[in-house]
Structure 1
Amino acid sequence: MMTQKQKTLTIYVLPLALLSIPLAGNLFSKEVNWSASDFLIAGALLFTAAFLINLVRNKIKKQSHKVLICIFILLALALIWAELAVGIFGSPFAGS
């Protein structure tokens, strides 16, 4: 059984693990071309999502509400990430 501290640590280590994937791609491949600002924006998005999920875990009591809010946070993260990556909505936010 994981303690509360271990769960919190896991939530904040996961974004670092996810960011290490494009970092390794940048170092060992010519196809991955992330700049420092790409890493900064991705890190801000991932750590904000991790912070919000941790906040929901600590403040919301009802399990079904926790799950729904966390799904909403992850969906928002995915939509923002996709918009920044390929501009699926064609908004000025993505540089279109």
Structure 2
Amino acid sequence: MATPIHPSSPTSRWRRFVWTGLIAILAAPLIAMQFTSEVDWDAFDFIFAAMLLGAIGIAFEFSTRMISGPLAKLAVMSLVVGLVLIVWAEAAVGIF
């Protein structure tokens, strides 16, 4: 079973940083839509992006709690971010 993370631990600060960053990335198109017509997302686009960014967040949570060793954590996060970028590129412009 996973060990609870104390609110003042370094991992807790990283958790806040990661989740806040993911929310900021998701908010960027919403903000851009207010200033330009170049960005035209609908609800499906936001849901799709939230699922992909949520996968990164969940992978971060998994790697910090369940995997020991910084190299293994880095490998898991690199794999997940790479897969998310491939899926995002495919959905955006159909590279495959």
Q: Do the two structures share a fold, i.e. TM-score over 0.5?
A: yes
Task: Give 2:37's aligned residue.
Answer: 30
TM-score by length of 1: 0.84
Task: Give 1:94's aligned residue.
Answer: none
> Between the two proteins, what is the percent identity of the paired residues?
27
TM-score by length of 2: 0.84
Moved over 3 A (4+): none
1:10 corresponds, among 8, 11, 17, to: 17
Task: Give 1:93's aligned residue.
Answer: none
User: Where does the alignment leave 5 or more consecutive residues of structure 1 unmatched?
Assistant: 90-96
Deviation of 1:18 (Å):
0.3
Deviation of 1:51 (Å):
1.0
Cα distance in 2, alignment partners of residues 49 and 56 from structure 1: 10
Contact 2:33 2:39 in 1 (8 A): yes
1:88 aligned counterpart, secondary structure: coil
CA RMSD of aligned residues (A): 1.5
Q: Which amino acid aligns with 1:69?
A: V
Deviation of 1:35 (Å):
0.5
User: Higher relative CO (CA 8 A, sep ≥ 6), structure 1 or 2?
Assistant: 2
Cα distance in 2, alignment partners of residues 78 and 51 from structure 1: 16
